[in-house]
Each structure stands twice: as structure tokens, then as C-alpha cells.
Amino acid sequence: MRITIQAVVDRQDGLPPETLELGAVQREQDCDPSSGLGLFIRETHDMLERLQSILLKEQTALFLKSAVRCQGCGERLATKTTRSLVYRTDLALEKRIPC
Ligand SMILES: [Zn+2]
């Protein structure tokens, strides 16, 4: 048996939603139940980390898209610096956002 876990990202920008794989669970038919039932901790961490990465990427892209233009007139704002900002999440993932 193989179960694939996917995330569907709908950016609501007129393009079709993108389907991304979070992970897959593979179990053999003759697997002894005493070897573990359900998801293993490692599998959940891997899928959660992948989901967090996808979510951070989408949130960063949305933020950058809105932050490059003036909220009042829509004119492109000047770039003040090119250094990166580091944000840490609960899963200890780092996301670097260029300024
Ligand atoms: Zn303006």
C-alpha cells in the first residue's frame, strides 16, 4: 500500500492550482503490526517540514509582491538594501527574505 500526501496551492491568480507532494507512506502487506501502526514520528516530521517550507515560500512571495510597491499610488519603491532578513519558525526552518 502506498498513500501519497499532497498540498494544493491555489494562488488565486487566474492560473490553475499547483499540486505539490508532501510525502508518501509505503507499507508492505505482510508487515507485522508490532513494527508500528499508522504514521511514524519521522514521517510526520518530514511531511510537516515540507508543508512548512511550502507555506513559507508562498507567504514570502505574497509579502514581497505587496512590499515592492507603494500602498498609496502603486509606484515601485526604491531598494534600500540587498541584505537578507532571517526568520525562524517553530520547526527551526529558516527563511531568508531579500530586502
Ligand atoms: Zn506612493
Residue-wise pLDDT for 38-88, tens only, equals: 899 999 999 999 999 999 999 988 988 888 889 899 899 998 888 887 777
C-alpha–C-alpha distance, residues 55 and 79, integer Å: 25
Q: How many domains, in total, are found in the chain?
A: 1
**Which residue, 28, 10, 26, is CA-closest to 18?**
10
The three grid cell numbers given for residue 76, joined into one nine-digit string: 515601485
pLDDT at 98 over 60: no
Ligand 1 center from residue 62 Cα (angstroms): 19
Mean pLDDT of 2-13: 95
Mean pLDDT of 8-14: 95
Query: Residue 46: which domain range?
Result: 2-98
Identity of the residue numbered 74: G
Ligand 1 center from residue 29 Cα (angstroms): 63
Determine contact, residues 53/45, Cβ cutoff 8 Å. no
Ligand 1 center from residue 70 Cα (angstroms): 5
CA angle 52, 66, 85 (to 5 degrees): 55
Determine contact, residues 84/98, Cβ cutoff 8 Å. yes
pLDDT at 21 over 80: yes
